[in-house]
């Protein structure tokens, strides 16, 4: 078995400045130039107080390399890294073990047709996954794979040998292969009454958020930090408690979810009403926390043109690695021990905050369009198929999955 070829990501040529004294041969990176000018224009007292943050921003801008929008190449490195454990090949025996353990839903692609086992734990999630596979199935080789539509990854790194399971989210402690979540199409978390059937299609939601962002440009936004969400993780508690102590600094409240039983689940206060994501665009500073795994709201917040405060860095989706702290968002410690200082910093440096917010918004606009999601699916499955060391044969009892738009025509 020969190893699969490495993906070559198309990148914009690096423009890092030479930092040696007296060097004038290369101009500073345009993003870095802003940071340097910022530090020079600050009053000495302010510059001294915020020195650590300013230096962190400058270093991050210096090291940042914008990626090309060609063929979703921003994310090729993620595919390569996720498939690395399987460079020795995926055998029929290995796949049979994954299927036997029911770590996800078993799919087969044979002669450009999609087949699936009858059992799917969350039918709407499977439907969201199937939409994207069917979009590109005419260009895919034969293969089979197990796709986990649960919230949690399945293959910890201590498990040897690694076996291939696709999951939408993971931490660095897992070997799962990340794929774009079903929520880009359907099957997202239902929030009654604002999202009774889930968040809905990403392409349509993008349009709603962009319109709301236009109605709430930076100068019109409320400068109170904002969060609404249920208590899916106690990591959110410190922000809620800070809001109760300092409501002018932070407006953060817990809402109900399916597990809500009493006010104990909202830290002793009545549950707040759910707020539509387009209404988050009224605020300059928006918080993103992990939930059970990565939070589905993350990508939405950027399109408000607001500054995203991302708490913790453990949980990932496929597009997270190309979003860089201090370049596209403000990183916050998991215990929120630095959150007040960060909020005071951005309030004292409004231009800096706006620049970061704009870079984050532009990244999601340019590199997380629906065609990027479809492109990622095609690239991921094409590369994955190269590791299968056997010819796939159709399992008995598996039904063909047909695009929904064609079902009424049969």
Residues catalogued as catalytic: 151
CA distances from 384 to 12, 167, 378, 389 (A): 26, 14, 10, 11
Question: Using the 8-state DSSP alphabet, how is residue 157 labeled?
Answer: T
Cis peptide before 30 (omega within 30 of 0): no
Paired tokens of 351: 């231009």
DSSP string of 38-75, one letter each residue? HHHHS-HHHHHHTHHHHHHHHHHHHH---B--GGGGGG
**Rg of the chain taking only CA atoms, in angstroms:** 23
How many other C-beta atoms are found inside a 10 Å radius of the C-beta of residue 33? Answer: 13
Q: Coil, strand or helix: which one is 230? A: strand
Ordered strands of the 105-110 beta sheet: 177-178, 166-167, 143-147, 105-110, 113-116, 399-401
Question: What span, in angstroms and rounded, lies between the C-alpha atoms of 168 and 328?
Answer: 22
CA distances from 333 to 161, 172, 173, 236, 352 (A): 33, 17, 19, 12, 20
Within 8 A by CB and 6+ apart from 269, the residues are 244, 253, 254, 263
Among candidate residues 237, 228, 245, 244, the one with its CA nearest the CA of residue 283: 228
Q: Coil, strand or helix: which one is 291? A: coil
Q: Coil, strand or helix: which one is 362? A: helix
Question: What span, in angstroms and rounded, lies between the C-alpha atoms of 242 and 239?
Answer: 5
CB 323 within 8 A of CB 308: no
CA distances from 33 to 16, 26, 57, 261, 363 (A): 11, 12, 11, 52, 19
């Amino acid at each position: 078995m020969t190893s699969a070829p490495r993906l070559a990501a198309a990148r914009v040529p690096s423009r890092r400045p030479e930092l040696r004294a007296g060097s004038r041969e290369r101009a500073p990176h345009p993003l870095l130039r802003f940071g340097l000018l910022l530090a020079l224009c600050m009053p000495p007292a302010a510059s001294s107080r915020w020195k650590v943050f300013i230096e962190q921003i400058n270093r991050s801008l210096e090291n940042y390399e914008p990626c090309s929008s060609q063929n979703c190449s921003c994310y090729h490195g993620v595919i390569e890294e996720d498939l690395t454990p399987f460079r020795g090949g995926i055998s029929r025996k290995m796949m049979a073990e994954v299927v036997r353990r029911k770590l996800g839903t078993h799919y087969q692609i044979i002669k450009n047709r999609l087949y699936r086992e009858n059992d799917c734990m969350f039918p709407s999630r499977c439907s969201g996954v199937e939409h994207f596979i069917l979009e590109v199935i005419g260009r895919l080789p034969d293969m089979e794979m197990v796709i986990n539509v649960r919230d949690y990854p399945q293959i910890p790194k201590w498990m040897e040998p690694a076996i291939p399971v696709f999951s939408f989210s993971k931490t660095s402690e897992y070997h799962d292969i990340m794929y774009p979540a079903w929520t880009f199409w359907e099957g997202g978390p239902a929030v009654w009454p604002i999202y009774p059937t889930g968040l809905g299609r990403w392409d349509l939601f993008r349009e709603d958020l962009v319109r709301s962002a236009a109605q709430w440009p930076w100068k019109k936004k409320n400068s109170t930090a904002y969060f609404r969400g249920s208590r899916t993780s106690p990591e959110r508690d410190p922000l809620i408690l800070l809001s109760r102590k300092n409501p002018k600094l932070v407006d953060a409240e817990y809402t109900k979810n399916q597990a809500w039983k009493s006010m104990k689940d909202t830290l002793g206060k009545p549950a707040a009403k759910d707020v539509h994501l387009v209404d988050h665009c009224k605020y300059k500073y928006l918080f993103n926390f992990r939930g059970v795994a990565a939070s589905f709201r993350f990508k939405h917040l950027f399109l408000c043109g607001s500054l995203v405060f991302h708490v913790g860095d453990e949980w990932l989706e496929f597009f997270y690695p190309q979003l860089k702290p201090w370049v596209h968002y403000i990183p916050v410690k998991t215990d929120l021990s630095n959150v007040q200082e960060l909020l005071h910093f951005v309030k004292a440096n409004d231009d800096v905050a706006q620049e970061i917010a704009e870079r984050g918004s532009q990244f999601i606009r340019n590199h997380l369009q629906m065609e990027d999601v479809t492109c990622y699916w095609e690239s991921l499955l094409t590369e994955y198929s190269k590791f299968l060391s056997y010819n796939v044969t159709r399992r008995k009892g598996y039904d063909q999955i047909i695009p929904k738009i064609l079902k009424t025509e049969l």
